[in-house]
Chain A
């Protein structure tokens, strides 16, 4: 490209980001939490103090103290290590599921809106039908059909997230289609494909990114909820939903740490993704509200 005309974009973006973070301190916290969590999750097998599956029947149901920061469960496993390893599993599931649904959903929705006509209406109808079902129930049924495995949870979560991306991509692209700069691009000699990739998708990305963020939150929630009710991942695998389920039975006997720590970790993770999404949405609203 041209050296002289490198944009003033970077400094402008940095200034804007600083202003938004100042206004939304909570989003700033979320922004720090997510990378920290990701780092912990990735390094979990190496930094966990205990083997998450190792039982120790001498130290059963001990409260948080000393070596066991989060206490031990009913067969003596260290709750902290299990929470850490569960983070890795849940995040991996969420990221795979959302990546899948983002790519496929955006392509389908974008293409539908782009070509218009019958395919567009058909895809709209199909998405509507899919969304009539409480999506959690759809996930339940899928996991039951496909068997209890990580792959089935990823697939089920992807399918459940898919209609949101399709709908969003469709609405974004169809709004962009009628913008004057798209018409101008045609006058400039751009082919329809070039318009899609150079003009439409870059302008649709901000809104889609918000959906990715909240989608990650939902995917984690989904996976945990499925395991909680007994579908998908089964014990003794360390997963937040399972841990809360096992802990719930013990909570009424007073052993609160079994359920509360994984529940807190789960909530904080989903919360961070949602706050990130909210913060991003605020930034985008400001930019489009000229």
Chain B
């Protein structure tokens, strides 16, 4: 078996392995809406003022009077073509609402993750190299503090400090100064669109507004990432193969970066996959605090308005995002570490 075919086999196995997971996700979201209070037919009807006949008609059209297994099958058929129903509040199809708002959340979460990694990995390495010293304790304490502060507390506190007291960041409403003209939407990601249009003031404005919510989301995950980097680094530094590398006289870079860091970052990669879940959860709260027009605030507003189709679509979307990210993490891991490729 050649190396390449081994890798391809693993990728295929992994991809196929996500199918039962996605099936479970579908079943769960199906149950979700059936469990939420109210009559499902009303959600999919044309509006809140629908009459009894209209609702009854919608019910038969949607097959809600059919046995559950049939409803489930129908549900899967619908979501596989992207039909997630219609929102009562916006009146639009849920799938188009989500498509419209997704880039905002994606940009926020991506930048937050990037920020978190840029901070936690170097700090984790520093804590590992100076394990046991006061620097180590300080770094770990700050990390734990970050994870102990609920997202909404952090958001409120940051707004108070940076906006209200220090006046460093702009008002926490929307992604860009409301008086500025948005650049043409190519990707939907404001930062990239601004750069593509060459509009530097808009770029700076959106960056400034992105900073606080991204920071809020980042501090929640800095602690687990840093803790894992630290533990992993400590384990690797005291491992036998590092000793062999040193004994063979290999240089600093080869020993600590090529041999050391590459091995140490593997568990961190797995941790990234795991913390994405808590990031997505915090996303809802952060988007509310900063009035960020993403899918999190969309879902929350819908939930509070008893508009359940968007909630179902949102939950489905988030679960799929998680599955995609974790599959990518697993595949990336397998590319680096040959031990996981064997069955």
Contacts and interface: CB of A to CB of B under 8 A. Distances in A.
A and B: interacting chains: yes
Interface of A: 23-24, 26, 125-126, 128-137, 140-141, 144-145, 147, 217, 221, 224-225, 228-231, 241, 244-245, 247-248, 251-252, 254, 256, 259-260, 263, 266-267, 270-271, 273-275, 278
A24 B133 CA distance: 11
A129 B281 contact: no
16 contacts: A26-B141, A125-B20, A125-B21, A133-B25, A134-B281, A135-B281, A136-B278, A136-B285, A137-B281, A225-B150, A229-B288, A251-B160, A251-B164, A267-B148, A273-B148, A274-B148
Contacts of B159: 251-252
Contacts of B24: 125-126, 128-129, 132
A242 to B, nearest CB: 11
B247 interface: no
A259 B137 CA distance: 29
Given A129-B25, A133-B322, A135-B277, A251 B156 contact: yes
B79 interface: no
A134 B318 contact: yes
Q: Determine which residue in A125, A217, A244 has the highest number of CB atoms from chain B within 10 A of its CB, and name it.
A: A244
A248 B25 contact: no
B150 A266 contact: yes
A256 B160 contact: yes
Contacts, number: 138
A266 B315 CA distance: 28
A129 B28 contact: yes
B137 A141 contact: no
Contacts of B32: 141, 145
Interface residues of B, number: 49
Contact of B152 (A23, A126, A228, A273): A228
Contact of B289 (A247, A248, A271): A248
Contact of A136 (B141, B164, B282): B282
Given A137-B318, A141-B36, A144-B303, A131 B277 contact: yes
Q: Determine which residue in B140, B152, B279 has the highest number of CB atoms from chain A within 10 A of its CB, and name it.
A: B152
A145 B153 contact: no
Q: Determine which residue in A128, A132, A144, A254 has the highest number of CB atoms from chain B within 10 A of its CB, and name it.
A: A132
Q: Which 10 residue pairs are nearest across A and B when measured between Cβ atoms?
A: A136-B281, A129-B24, A134-B281, A134-B280, A271-B148, A270-B148, A263-B153, A132-B319, A228-B152, A145-B36
A145 B151 CA distance: 23
B144 interface: yes
A270 B36 CA distance: 30
Contacts of B151: 225
B36 A221 contact: no
Contacts of B278: 134-136
Secondary structure class of chain B's binding surface, majority of residues: helix
Secondary structure class of chain A's binding surface, majority of residues: helix
B25 A132 contact: yes
A21 to B, nearest CB: 13
Contacts of B288: 229
B79 to A, nearest CB: 15
Contact of A225 (B37, B285, B318): B285
Nearest to A282: B140
Contacts of A248: 152, 156, 289
A255 B300 CA distance: 27
Nearest to A217: B148
Q: Determine which residue in A229, A231, A273, A274 has the highest number of CB atoms from chain B within 10 A of its CB, and name it.
A: A229
A262 to B, nearest CB: 9
A277 B295 CA distance: 34
Interface in B187-217: none
Nearest to A271: B148
Nearest to B163: A252
Given A241-B152, A270-B148, A137 B322 contact: no
Given A132-B21, A132-B322, A224 B150 contact: yes
Contacts of A229: 152, 284-285, 288, 300, 304
B29 to A, nearest CB: 9
Given A133-B319, A266-B153, A278-B140, 6 more contacts: A134-B278, A137-B314, A224-B152, A241-B150, A263-B153, A267-B148
A254 to B, nearest CB: 8
B152 A225 contact: yes
